[in-house]
Structures are given as structure tokens and as C-alpha cells.
């Protein structure tokens, strides 16, 4: 099972109460079980969200053999009422990055790896 590391970024609305609520929703037991199951069904073996100021970074490792194409994932998520409700709830806290209007969780491009550097 070849794992692919994927990283994403999104901003939160710069409001301490909203940020505290977002963090609470992501504490252990916060996300609904159906949301965690949907993530795992996409072949995600590991997923972490890191926080700084009002910016979030998501780092995931995903089994490339079980990774759905984007259209299949969108359709599957839209057809799952628990995932759709979660996405709508989270959208209240998130705001697009300045260069990606209308989009959340922008996938990042890797540009440096120590492993690729000469020794």
C-alpha cells in the first residue's frame, strides 16, 4: 500500500470565540463517527490538523490504491448527510485563503524535501 502525503491549508475567521469553537469540534470525540468513517473510507491512514494564529494545515497520508478521484469523492460526500452537515458546519468557521476565493482546504505543492538534498 503506497502512501501519499498530502497537505492542505485554510484560514479561520479571526475571531477568538469561533476559533475556540472550531478547536473544540476537533477535540477527540468532536467529529461525528460517520465523518471519521468517511475519511477512512477514502484510504486516509493518518490525518492531523495543525493550527497557528488563524491558519490551519492538514497533513494526511493516504493509500494511493484506495484514493477516490475528486469527482467520486465530491459525489460520495454530498450523498452522505453526516458529511454534508459537517462540511456545512465547518464552513461557518473557515474562510478561503486570499488567493483561492470560494475554496477551502487548498492542496499545497511540496517544494522541498531534505531527503532530496545532497548529503
Instruction: List the CATH number of the domain containing 48.
Output: 3.30.70.100
State which residues form the domain around 73.
Answer: 3-94
- Cα–Cα distance between 69 and 49 in angstroms, integer? 22
Average pLDDT over residues 80-91: 96
Answer whether 83's CB lies under 8 Å from 70's CB. Answer: no
Is residue 50 pLDDT above 90, yes or no? Answer: yes
∠5-49-18 over CA atoms, to 5°?
150
Q: What is the pLDDT of residue 79?
A: 94
Cell representation of residue 7: 497537505
Q: Which residues are catalytic?
A: 13
- Cα–Cα distance between 60 and 105 in angstroms, integer? 12
Domain-located, residue 102: no
Strand partners, 55: 11, 52
Q: Which of 6, 39, 8, 25 minimizes the C-alpha distance to 105?
A: 8
Is residue 1 pLDDT above 90, yes or no? Answer: no
Q: What is the pLDDT of residues 67-85, one digit of tens each?
A: 889 899 999 999 999 999 9
Domain-located, residue 101: no
Cell representation of residue 80: 452522505
Amino acid at each position: 500500500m503506497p502512501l501519499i502525503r498530502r497537505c492542505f491549508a485554510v484560514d479561520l475567521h479571526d475571531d477568538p470565540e469561533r476559533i475556540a469553537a472550531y478547536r473544540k469540534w476537533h477535540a477527540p470525540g468532536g467529529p461525528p463517527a460517520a465523518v471519521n468513517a468517511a475519511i477512512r473510507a477514502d484510504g486516509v491512514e493518518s490525518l492531523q490538523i495543525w493550527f497557528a494564529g488563524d491558519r490551519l494545515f492538514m497533513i494526511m497520508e493516504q493509500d494511493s490504491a484506495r484514493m477516490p478521484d475528486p469527482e467520486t469523492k465530491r459525489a460520495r460526500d454530498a450523498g452522505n448527510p453526516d458529511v454534508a452537515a459537517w462540511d456545512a458546519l465547518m464552513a461557518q468557521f473557515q474562510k478561503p485563503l486570499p488567493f483561492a476565493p470560494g475554496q477551502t482546504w487548498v492542496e499545497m505543492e511540496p517544494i522541498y524535501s531534505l531527503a532530496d538534498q545532497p548529503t
